[in-house]
Amino acid sequence: MPDQQVARPTHVVLVGLMGSGKTTVGKKVAKLIGHRFVDADVELEARTGRSVADWFTDGEAAFRTQEALLLTDLLSGPDALVIGAGGGVVVTEASRQRLQEHDVTVIYLHGTPEFLASRVQAKPHRPLLGDDALGVLTPMYAERDPWYREVADAVVEVLPAHQAGEKPKWRLAEQTVEHLIELGVVDPARVSTVEVSP
Protein backbone atom coordinates (compact mmCIF):
# COMPACT_ATOMS: atom_id res chain seq x y z
CA MET A 1 0.00 0.00 0.00
CA PRO A 2 1.39 3.40 -0.91
CA ASP A 3 0.90 4.92 2.53
CA GLN A 4 2.76 2.11 4.27
CA GLN A 5 6.45 2.74 4.79
CA VAL A 6 8.59 -0.13 3.62
CA ALA A 7 11.98 -0.58 5.27
CA ARG A 8 14.82 0.25 2.92
CA PRO A 9 17.79 -1.93 3.88
CA THR A 10 21.04 -0.04 4.00
CA HIS A 11 24.51 -0.58 5.30
CA VAL A 12 24.75 0.52 8.93
CA VAL A 13 28.00 2.19 9.94
CA LEU A 14 28.87 2.97 13.56
CA VAL A 15 31.21 5.92 14.05
CA GLY A 16 32.71 7.51 17.14
CA LEU A 17 35.92 7.94 19.06
CA MET A 18 37.94 4.98 20.28
CA GLY A 19 36.34 3.42 23.34
CA SER A 20 32.79 4.34 22.36
CA GLY A 21 31.89 0.70 21.72
CA LYS A 22 31.65 0.52 17.93
CA THR A 23 32.83 -3.08 17.72
CA THR A 24 30.97 -4.54 20.69
CA VAL A 25 27.75 -2.65 20.02
CA GLY A 26 28.06 -3.28 16.28
CA LYS A 27 28.21 -7.05 16.76
CA LYS A 28 25.05 -6.92 18.85
CA VAL A 29 23.24 -4.67 16.36
CA ALA A 30 24.18 -7.08 13.56
CA LYS A 31 22.78 -9.99 15.58
CA LEU A 32 19.52 -8.14 16.20
CA ILE A 33 18.89 -7.13 12.59
CA GLY A 34 20.37 -10.19 10.88
CA HIS A 35 23.29 -8.52 9.09
CA ARG A 36 26.94 -9.55 8.98
CA PHE A 37 29.28 -7.48 11.14
CA VAL A 38 32.62 -6.17 9.90
CA ASP A 39 35.20 -4.45 12.08
CA ALA A 40 36.97 -2.17 9.60
CA ASP A 41 40.35 -2.30 11.35
CA VAL A 42 40.28 -6.11 11.56
CA GLU A 43 39.16 -6.35 7.94
CA LEU A 44 41.97 -4.07 6.80
CA GLU A 45 44.55 -6.25 8.51
CA ALA A 46 42.99 -9.41 7.07
CA ARG A 47 43.08 -8.01 3.55
CA THR A 48 46.49 -6.36 3.60
CA GLY A 49 48.40 -8.46 6.11
CA ARG A 50 49.32 -5.26 7.95
CA SER A 51 48.00 -4.04 11.29
CA VAL A 52 46.74 -0.50 11.82
CA ALA A 53 49.90 0.24 13.82
CA ASP A 54 52.03 -1.08 10.97
CA TRP A 55 50.19 1.09 8.45
CA PHE A 56 50.86 4.11 10.63
CA THR A 57 54.60 3.54 10.26
CA ASP A 58 54.08 4.74 6.68
CA GLY A 59 52.38 7.86 8.03
CA GLU A 60 48.76 8.60 8.87
CA ALA A 61 48.01 9.70 5.29
CA ALA A 62 48.93 6.25 3.96
CA PHE A 63 46.64 4.60 6.50
CA ARG A 64 43.75 6.97 5.76
CA THR A 65 44.04 6.21 2.05
CA GLN A 66 43.78 2.47 2.70
CA GLU A 67 40.94 3.04 5.17
CA ALA A 68 38.97 5.03 2.59
CA LEU A 69 39.52 2.38 -0.09
CA LEU A 70 38.34 -0.35 2.27
CA LEU A 71 35.22 1.61 3.22
CA THR A 72 34.32 2.14 -0.42
CA ASP A 73 34.79 -1.54 -1.15
CA LEU A 74 32.74 -2.71 1.85
CA LEU A 75 29.90 -0.35 0.96
CA SER A 76 29.85 -1.50 -2.66
CA GLY A 77 28.85 -5.05 -1.76
CA PRO A 78 25.35 -6.38 -2.46
CA ASP A 79 24.60 -7.44 1.11
CA ALA A 80 23.82 -4.85 3.77
CA LEU A 81 26.48 -4.90 6.49
CA VAL A 82 26.92 -3.49 9.96
CA ILE A 83 30.37 -1.88 9.99
CA GLY A 84 32.34 -0.71 12.99
CA ALA A 85 34.38 2.05 11.39
CA GLY A 86 37.76 3.20 12.58
CA GLY A 87 37.58 6.24 14.84
CA GLY A 88 39.28 8.46 12.28
CA VAL A 89 37.27 7.43 9.22
CA VAL A 90 35.65 10.88 9.16
CA VAL A 91 39.01 12.62 8.82
CA THR A 92 39.00 11.85 5.08
CA GLU A 93 36.59 14.01 3.09
CA ALA A 94 35.91 11.29 0.52
CA SER A 95 34.87 8.92 3.31
CA ARG A 96 32.56 11.53 4.83
CA GLN A 97 30.92 12.00 1.45
CA ARG A 98 30.50 8.24 1.00
CA LEU A 99 28.96 7.88 4.45
CA GLN A 100 26.27 10.38 3.47
CA GLU A 101 25.10 8.43 0.42
CA HIS A 102 21.57 7.01 0.32
CA ASP A 103 22.66 3.39 0.81
CA VAL A 104 24.34 4.04 4.17
CA THR A 105 22.87 4.79 7.59
CA VAL A 106 25.34 6.18 10.11
CA ILE A 107 24.96 5.99 13.88
CA TYR A 108 27.27 8.15 16.00
CA LEU A 109 28.09 6.59 19.37
CA HIS A 110 28.82 9.79 21.26
CA GLY A 111 30.89 9.94 24.41
CA THR A 112 32.81 12.79 26.02
CA PRO A 113 36.62 12.63 26.08
CA GLU A 114 36.52 12.41 29.87
CA PHE A 115 34.26 9.38 29.91
CA LEU A 116 35.99 7.59 27.04
CA ALA A 117 39.44 8.25 28.55
CA SER A 118 38.30 6.49 31.72
CA ARG A 119 37.44 3.39 29.67
CA VAL A 120 39.83 3.19 26.76
CA GLN A 121 42.95 1.05 26.89
CA ALA A 122 46.03 1.18 24.72
CA LYS A 123 45.82 -1.58 22.11
CA PRO A 124 47.77 -2.35 18.92
CA HIS A 125 44.97 -0.96 16.73
CA ARG A 126 45.11 2.37 18.58
CA PRO A 127 48.53 3.76 17.63
CA LEU A 128 47.47 7.34 18.32
CA LEU A 129 46.43 6.77 21.94
CA GLY A 130 49.76 6.82 23.74
CA ASP A 131 50.02 7.10 27.54
CA ASP A 132 47.78 10.14 28.05
CA ALA A 133 44.32 9.09 26.91
CA LEU A 134 42.54 12.30 27.92
CA GLY A 135 45.29 14.44 26.43
CA VAL A 136 44.90 12.61 23.12
CA LEU A 137 41.10 12.30 23.07
CA THR A 138 40.32 15.94 23.96
CA PRO A 139 41.74 17.56 20.78
CA MET A 140 40.66 14.54 18.75
CA TYR A 141 37.08 15.07 19.95
CA ALA A 142 37.23 18.78 19.17
CA GLU A 143 38.30 18.00 15.60
CA ARG A 144 36.10 14.99 14.87
CA ASP A 145 32.82 15.62 16.72
CA PRO A 146 31.52 18.05 14.04
CA TRP A 147 32.42 15.52 11.33
CA TYR A 148 30.71 12.66 13.16
CA ARG A 149 27.58 14.80 13.45
CA GLU A 150 27.86 15.82 9.78
CA VAL A 151 27.63 12.20 8.61
CA ALA A 152 25.32 10.82 11.32
CA ASP A 153 21.69 9.94 10.73
CA ALA A 154 21.25 9.49 14.49
CA VAL A 155 23.29 10.05 17.65
CA VAL A 156 23.29 7.55 20.53
CA GLU A 157 24.66 8.78 23.87
CA VAL A 158 27.04 6.27 25.42
CA LEU A 159 27.25 7.54 29.02
CA PRO A 160 23.58 7.12 30.06
CA ALA A 161 23.61 3.48 28.96
CA HIS A 162 26.59 2.83 31.23
CA GLN A 163 25.04 4.73 34.12
CA ALA A 164 21.83 2.70 33.82
CA GLY A 165 23.43 -0.49 35.11
CA GLU A 166 24.04 -3.92 33.65
CA LYS A 167 24.59 -4.74 29.98
CA PRO A 168 25.23 -1.22 28.70
CA LYS A 169 26.38 -2.49 25.29
CA TRP A 170 23.10 -4.34 24.76
CA ARG A 171 21.26 -1.20 25.81
CA LEU A 172 23.21 0.81 23.24
CA ALA A 173 22.52 -1.84 20.59
CA GLU A 174 18.80 -1.71 21.31
CA GLN A 175 18.80 2.10 21.10
CA THR A 176 20.66 1.89 17.80
CA VAL A 177 18.10 -0.54 16.38
CA GLU A 178 15.27 1.72 17.57
CA HIS A 179 16.81 4.56 15.56
CA LEU A 180 17.17 2.31 12.52
CA ILE A 181 13.48 1.41 12.74
CA GLU A 182 12.53 5.09 13.10
CA LEU A 183 14.67 5.92 10.06
CA GLY A 184 12.84 3.27 8.04
CA VAL A 185 15.88 1.14 7.25
CA VAL A 186 15.02 -1.82 9.47
CA ASP A 187 11.71 -3.65 9.44
CA PRO A 188 10.68 -4.13 13.10
CA ALA A 189 9.09 -7.44 12.16
CA ARG A 190 12.52 -8.76 11.15
CA VAL A 191 14.37 -7.73 14.31
CA SER A 192 15.55 -10.69 16.35
CA THR A 193 13.44 -11.56 19.37
CA VAL A 194 16.57 -12.57 21.30
CA GLU A 195 16.21 -11.43 24.90
CA VAL A 196 18.86 -8.75 25.23
CA SER A 197 17.60 -6.58 28.07
CA PRO A 198 19.12 -6.97 31.52
CATH number at residue 69: 3.40.50.300
The parent domain of residue 38 ranges over 11-185
pLDDT in tens, 96-125: 999 999 999 999 999 999 999 887 765 544
User: Once rounded to an integer, what is the mean pLDDT over residues 60-78?
Assistant: 93
pLDDT value, residue 3: 40
Average pLDDT over all residues of the chain: 88
Predicted confidence (pLDDT) at residue 1 exceeds the cutoff of 50: no
Closest residue by Cα to residue 140 from 87, 83, 94: 87
CB atoms within 10 A of CB 166: 8
> pLDDT digit string (tens) for 13-43?
999 998 899 999 999 999 999 999 999 999 9
Q: Does residue 1 form part of some domain?
A: no
Number of domains making up the chain: 1
Q: pTM of whole model > 0.85?
A: yes
